[in-house]
Structure 1
Amino acid sequence: MGKPLKIILSIFATLTLLVIVVVCALFIFIDPNDFKPEIQAAVKDKIGRELTLEGELKLSVFPWLGISSGKMVLSNAEGFQSKPFAEIEESNINVKLLPLLSKEIEVDRIVLKGLTVNLAKNKQGINNWHDLVETQPEIPAPDSGKQDVQPSAKAQTILSIGGITIKNARIDWDNQKNGKHLEFKDVNLNTDKIVFDQPFAVDLALVVSDTQAKLTETIKLAMDLTVNEKLDVFHLADVNLQTTTAGEKIPGQSLKSTLTAADVALDMAKQDLKISTLRLESGDLKIAADITGTQIKDQPSFQGPVTVAEFNPVQVMKQLAMTPPATRDASALTRLAMNFNLLATDKSADLQNLVVKLDDTAINGSAGIKNFSEPAITFNLTADAIDVDRYLAPEKAADKKSKPIASPATTTAAAASALPVDTLRKLNANGQLTLQKLKASNLTLQDIHVKLNAKNGIVTTQQSVKQFYQGSYSGNLNMDVRGNQPKLAVNETLNHVQVAPLLKDYKGEARMSGAVNASAQLQAQGHTANELKSSLNGRLSFLFRDSVILGFNLQKIIDSSKALVKGAPLPTDNKKDQTLFSEITGTATVNNGILHNNDLIAHSSKLRVNGKGSANLNTEKLDYKINATLLKSADASGQQAEKMTVAINVGGTFNEPAYTVDPTSLLTEEHKAKIEEKKQKLLDKLDKKIGPGTSDLLKRLF
């Protein structure tokens, strides 16, 4: 065994010595600068670009076979500006000599100094590096009928790099198609020794400048990276990405964000991605996720749980240079948290098992967007209780007294009409919302169901409230925004709704009580609330049962009228005056915002009322005339007879109606008979003084 070993060692030593002698001879007798024309010609032939070697090439041999260069310039693609595609002020690369004998490539640290790359895209969308990444079509080898023989582990070449250093590099990105211009400067990259399938540390720092937006982004990245020999499997550990955004529009002139991940595994061959313990922190906002991706090149799909820790939306809006809305409740929009399972592709995103906590409201369900280019929104959400009034702008005392009563459908119509027509035309949404309890305009609604369908310029909603002041509500809205003027159609129904508590909550006082059944079918068109009201058309009907009208005593008005005729003193006013009706009914038509009602009828045990008039929905002015008849008590036959009828004019506004008595209606039949008797006596006297037939002539004339 000793002799063969000596022979092998002798051969190895001889070969090693031969390589060293040859390399030394090359180093001594060959100047690499003599080969500049050949190198430049080879680059021109391979990629079609000019390579200029302005600096001196220096060769080193033992123990590292290496070369260093001065300035190198690579020309730009044809059709682009004259400045070069890339420049390098200085480079250095060395390969260890002896490991080459055993097919091990051990590269010393690669150093690039002063690297400048000018990337561009022209107005036609063509970039200036497409010719560098074009791949030649693969030519299939002839089928010999033999199975491919995989090289053994001993035949494989092992590559290791002592590290990569890039100092003070700059990348300029000029997108002429969209006018975007970015500058990546102070790019510094440093890595540990790079060996395939073994982790090595990576540190990257750069500054991104956007002159148009006047923003500067400072980026720092640190991680441990593992890459396989085929460069298609990557593993990242302890990823830490820190960014600082600075600019005039950023509150405090800067905003810091941190993105970390415990583990990132990317397999390009299998098209799989897995990110574990992903964390994003920016100001008060903290997001955690675990994401798995499949088919990331062909049909990318990503899924995994996402958690947004509780944060203060008002503070985040301030950090993002947004003005928080003024709210009636100072504690509104101060707590928001959510978690969901994300299912996303390159064209859609679904949030499943969604749980949102907004202040004191819990929301759960699902939501999604399909086709990002033309978004289609879907949702199915349920909330326990929400007080909408907390999030509205502060209300003035005068506003509460003057605000008109608006139904859910008309409120929805007014809110929708406030949106830009283009937004409504493009809206593609389908979903439903269920609320256990809702407080809006100080009204309390329970068990609410809302369905929304919007597509191709048609927006429809269906809403129902199963518990609405001891009654129920149902309605629907149809909005057509395909034309220049939005067109709306509203249908609504109220069933056995108690009026007094509703008015008390809505306006702070209730001048009427009882249960109401009502329905309305209305149409309107316009962009603003005023335009909608002035163009309002349709019909409605109402029925009040066991109603009490406060501040209005109809019987007292009739008694006052009787006292006035007889010369008796008028009864004193009382703020607690009221009128009781067993039933009030009527129908109305609406034409261009003016409501016409010709069949107002009210009944009570002692009163009969009928009337007609109009109400202007634009000015809120009333113009009504009602006839009220006070009934006698039942006689022996059980019949009731009219005692006195009074005409009352109703004017003023919805909030402050005014009542005046028509004087001519104060004349009873008894008084009318006395006047007729006196008139006849006067005519008889005229016949005697002037002559017979005078009274007949006056009767014909008057």
Structure 2
Amino acid sequence: MGKPLKIILSILAALALLIIVVISALFIFIDPNDFKPEIQAAVKDKIGRELTLEGDLKLSVFPWLGISTGKMTLSNAKGFQPKPFAEIEESDINVKLLPLLSKEIEVDRIVLKGLTVNLAKNKQGVNNWHDLTDTKPEPPAADSGAQDTQPTDEAQTLLSIGGITIENARVDWDNQKSGKHLEIKDVDLNTDKIVFDKPFSVNLALTVLNAQANLTESIKLTTDLTVNDKLDNFRLADVNLQTTTAGEKVPGKSLTAALTATDVLLNLAKQDLKISTLRVESGALKVAADITGTRIKDQPLFQGPVTVAQFNPVQVMKQLAITPPTMRDVNALTRLAMNFSLQATDDSADLQNLVIKLDDTTIKGSAGVNNFSQPAIAFNLTADAVDIDRYLAPEKETDKKSKPIASPAVTTAAAASLLPVETLRKLNANGELTLHKMKINNLNMQDIHLKLSAKNGIVTTQQNVNQFYQGSYSGNLNMDVRNSQPVLAVNEKINRVQVEPLLKDYKGEARMRGVVNASAQLKAQGNNKDEIKSSLNGQLSFLFKDSVILGFNLQKIIDNSKALIKGAPLPTDNKHDQTLFSEITGTAIVNNGVLSNNDLVAQSSKLRVNGKGNANLNTETLDYKINAMLLKSPDANTGQQAEKMTVAINVGGTFSKPSYTIDPSSLLTEKNKAKIEEKKQKLLDKLDKKLGPGASDLLKRIF
């Protein structure tokens, strides 16, 4: 056995010596730089681009077969700028020789230094790398009748790379079609040893410059990556992505964000994506999600639960250098959290099982957006209790008494008028909102239903309040914003609403009691509140039952006027003055913001009132003439109704401060009617005696 072993060892020694001799000969007799023309010609023939090898090529053979290069450039595509498509300062790649005998490719660390890539897209939308990625279809192979066979595991070549290092790389992106230009610089990439189907660490850092927006974004990524040999199945574990955006227009001039995920699975063959325990944090804002995606290349669909942890919106606004609004409640807008089930495509997003908690309000339902380029919004939401006044600007005590009463539809119209016409014209929305309780402008409402429909420049809202101060309210608003000046139509009705508590809540005081039924049909046009009021046209009607006007005593006004005429002392003031009416009715026509009411009727056991006049909504002034018929009490001796007396009253002033004055002539006429008639007749009789019969008839015709 000793002799054969010696023979084998001698053969191996001879082979080793032969290899050493061959390697030595390669270094002595072969210079890789001599093959530069052949290499450049091969690249030109294969891809049609010019390859320039400026630096020296250095060859290594054993135990690594490799090559190191100096500076190399690859020309740009035809029709683009003359600067190179890519250039590199130096590179180094080595493959181990002996594992090749067993079909194993073991590559040493690949090192690329000073890599620059210039990517571009022209105005026609053609990019400068399309010729490198387009592949020509191969002619079909002749049918040999044999079935295709897949290579066995033993026949497959195994590949491992000792790692990849890219230092100080740069990518320039020039999109002439959109006018966008980005520069990605300081790209550094380092990986561990790369073996298919085994995890290896990845560390990536880069900086993105956007000169147009004056923004700089720094990005750092660390993860453990696993790739299969077909390069269609990827797994990223312990993903950690950190970004910092800086610029003059960035709130606070700098904004940081972090994205982490425990596991990301991407299967390109099946077009599946799964992201587990995704976390996104930026300042106080924290979002958590678990997302799955299907058909991500053809028809992507992403879905999964999303949670936004409770945060302080006011604090976030301050962190973003946004001045928070001044609100009546200092604790308003300090707690916000939400969660929902997300379903999203490349052109839509649908939020189901939506729960929003804003301060003390809980909102539930669903919402969605379809067609991001021209968004169509849909929603169906329910809220338990909302105090909108908490979020409004602080109100002075004097503001309560001076603010005019506005219905929900009119308030909605005024709010909508603050939005640009173009925004309303593009609005495409359809949804419903239900509120169990709501407070706005100090008015309390229960069981509220709101509907919104907006499309093609037509905006329609419907409002119903089933419990509104022991009564109800219903109304709708139609806005046509297809032209430059919006046209509005309002139709409203209130039924059996208690006036006194409504006025106390809204204005802080009530000068009237009773139950009111009213309806209004109004139209207007304009781009702001003043234009809408001045163009207001339509009609309305009202009916007050069992009403009491506080601070106004019609009987006392008449008595004071009588006493003043007689020269008698005025009656003692009474702070609890009031006038009772069993019913007040009327209708009105509105023309260019002026309300004309010609059939005001009020009655009680002692009064009959008829009136007419105007209320100017633009100047908020009153101009009314009221005739009050005072019914005297029955005579105690005869039991018969005494003679009626009519008094004329002028109502002026403003909505918030009306004034009442008596027409003195009406009192004088009633008081002296009999005496005047008696004296007038005596005068006429004297004229007939002195001037002859018929003279009195001539005087009557003159006066």
CA contact (8 A) 1:352 1:366 kept: yes
SS of the residue corresponding to residue 270 of structure 1 reads coil
Matched, 1:81 2:81: yes
Matched, 1:244 2:244: yes
Q: Over residues 131-187 of structure 1, what are the superposed CA-to-partner deviations in whole Å (9 max), with x where a residue is unaligned?
A: 211122244333333222221111100000000000111111122222222111111
SS of the residue corresponding to residue 365 of structure 1 reads strand
Separation in structure 1 between the aligned mates of residue 533 and residue 268 of structure 2, nearest angstrom: 61
* Correspondence for 1:43: 43
SS of the residue corresponding to residue 482 of structure 1 reads coil
* Correspondence for 2:134: 134
Once the two structures are TM-superposed, the CA of residue 462 in structure 1 deviates from its matched residue by 1.0
* Correspondence for 1:643: 644
CA contact (8 A) 2:173 2:182 kept: yes
Identity %: 81
SS of the residue corresponding to residue 506 of structure 2 reads helix
Separation in structure 1 between the aligned mates of residue 285 and residue 419 of structure 2, nearest angstrom: 29
Trace 1:375-524 onto structure 2 (pairs within 5 A).
375-524=375-524
Once the two structures are TM-superposed, the CA of residue 630 in structure 1 deviates from its matched residue by 1.6
Matched, 1:120 2:127: no
Matched, 1:324 2:319: no
Trace 1:39-78 onto structure 2 (pairs within 5 A).
39-78=39-78
CA contact (8 A) 1:250 1:319 kept: no
Letter in 2 for 1:630: L
Structure-2 change in CA distance of 1:686 and 1:417 (3 Å)? same
Matched, 1:659 2:669: no
Letter in 2 for 1:61: V
Q: After alignment, is 20-29 or 505-514 more displaced? A: 20-29
Trace 1:277-676 onto structure 2 (pairs within 5 A).
277-634=277-634, 640=641, 642-667=643-668, 669=670, 671-676=672-677
Separation in structure 2 between the aligned mates of residue 438 and residue 482 of structure 1, nearest angstrom: 32
CA contact (8 A) 1:217 1:243 kept: yes
Q: Over residues 246-286 of structure 1, what are the superposed CA-to-partner deviations in whole Å (9 max), with x where a residue is unaligned?
A: 22233443221111000000000000000000001101110
Q: Over residues 82-106 of structure 1, what are the superposed CA-to-partner deviations in whole Å (9 max), with x where a residue is unaligned?
A: 1111110010000011101101000
SS of the residue corresponding to residue 154 of structure 1 reads coil
SS of the residue corresponding to residue 667 of structure 1 reads helix
Q: After alignment, is 614-623 or 16-25 more displaced? A: 16-25
CA contact (8 A) 1:479 1:486 kept: yes
SS of the residue corresponding to residue 229 of structure 1 reads coil
Trace 1:213-224 onto structure 2 (pairs within 5 A).
213-224=213-224
* Correspondence for 1:144: 144
* Correspondence for 1:701: 702
Letter in 1 for 2:599: D
Once the two structures are TM-superposed, the CA of residue 50 in structure 1 deviates from its matched residue by 0.8
CA contact (8 A) 1:255 1:319 kept: no
Q: Over residues 195-218 of structure 1, what are the superposed CA-to-partner deviations in whole Å (9 max), with x where a residue is unaligned?
A: 000000000011111222222111
Separation in structure 2 between the aligned mates of residue 692 and residue 335 of structure 1, nearest angstrom: 97
RMSD: 2.3
Once the two structures are TM-superposed, the CA of residue 546 in structure 1 deviates from its matched residue by 1.0
Letter in 2 for 1:652: G
Q: After alignment, is 144-153 or 43-52 more displaced? A: 144-153
Q: Over residues 413-440 of structure 1, what are the superposed CA-to-partner deviations in whole Å (9 max), with x where a residue is unaligned?
A: 1111211111111111011000011110
SS of the residue corresponding to residue 382 of structure 2 reads strand
Structure-2 change in CA distance of 1:92 and 1:541 (3 Å)? same
Separation in structure 2 between the aligned mates of residue 504 and residue 475 of structure 1, nearest angstrom: 23
SS of the residue corresponding to residue 38 of structure 1 reads helix
Q: After alignment, is 27-36 or 635-644 more displaced? A: 635-644
CA contact (8 A) 2:252 2:321 kept: no
Separation in structure 2 between the aligned mates of residue 680 and residue 463 of structure 1, nearest angstrom: 66
Structure-2 change in CA distance of 1:503 and 1:319 (3 Å)? same
Matched, 1:27 2:27: yes
CA contact (8 A) 1:249 1:321 kept: no
SS of the residue corresponding to residue 155 of structure 1 reads coil
Letter in 1 for 2:375: P
Structure-2 change in CA distance of 1:642 and 1:4 (3 Å)? farther
Structure-2 change in CA distance of 1:49 and 1:545 (3 Å)? same
Structure-2 change in CA distance of 1:14 and 1:494 (3 Å)? farther
Separation in structure 1 between the aligned mates of residue 66 and residue 453 of structure 2, nearest angstrom: 70
Unaligned runs of 5+ in 2: none
CA contact (8 A) 1:86 1:115 kept: yes
Structure-2 change in CA distance of 1:629 and 1:100 (3 Å)? same
Separation in structure 2 between the aligned mates of residue 206 and residue 597 of structure 1, nearest angstrom: 74
SS of the residue corresponding to residue 77 of structure 1 reads coil
CA contact (8 A) 2:558 2:662 kept: no
Structure-2 change in CA distance of 1:150 and 1:334 (3 Å)? same
Separation in structure 2 between the aligned mates of residue 478 and residue 2 of structure 1, nearest angstrom: 108
Q: Over residues 293-333 of structure 1, what are the superposed CA-to-partner deviations in whole Å (9 max), with x where a residue is unaligned?
A: 00000000000000000111122223333332222222221
CA contact (8 A) 1:644 1:668 kept: no
Unaligned runs of 5+ in 1: none
Separation in structure 2 between the aligned mates of residue 623 and residue 670 of structure 1, nearest angstrom: 27
Separation in structure 2 between the aligned mates of residue 404 and residue 449 of structure 1, nearest angstrom: 24
Once the two structures are TM-superposed, the CA of residue 664 in structure 1 deviates from its matched residue by 1.6
CA contact (8 A) 2:251 2:322 kept: no
Letter in 2 for 1:698: L
Matched, 1:161 2:143: no
Separation in structure 1 between the aligned mates of residue 36 and residue 542 of structure 2, nearest angstrom: 98
Structure-2 change in CA distance of 1:320 and 1:176 (3 Å)? farther
Separation in structure 2 between the aligned mates of residue 12 and residue 269 of structure 1, nearest angstrom: 47
Once the two structures are TM-superposed, the CA of residue 111 in structure 1 deviates from its matched residue by 0.3
SS of the residue corresponding to residue 154 of structure 2 reads helix
Q: After alignment, is 307-316 or 555-564 more displaced? A: 555-564
Once the two structures are TM-superposed, the CA of residue 401 in structure 1 deviates from its matched residue by 2.2
Once the two structures are TM-superposed, the CA of residue 15 in structure 1 deviates from its matched residue by 7.2
Report the count of equivalent residues. 702
Q: After alignment, is 288-297 or 589-598 more displaced? A: 589-598
Structure-2 change in CA distance of 1:16 and 1:604 (3 Å)? farther
Structure-2 change in CA distance of 1:595 and 1:6 (3 Å)? farther
CA contact (8 A) 2:106 2:161 kept: yes
Once the two structures are TM-superposed, the CA of residue 399 in structure 1 deviates from its matched residue by 2.9
CA contact (8 A) 2:585 2:600 kept: yes
Separation in structure 1 between the aligned mates of residue 314 and residue 10 of structure 2, nearest angstrom: 80
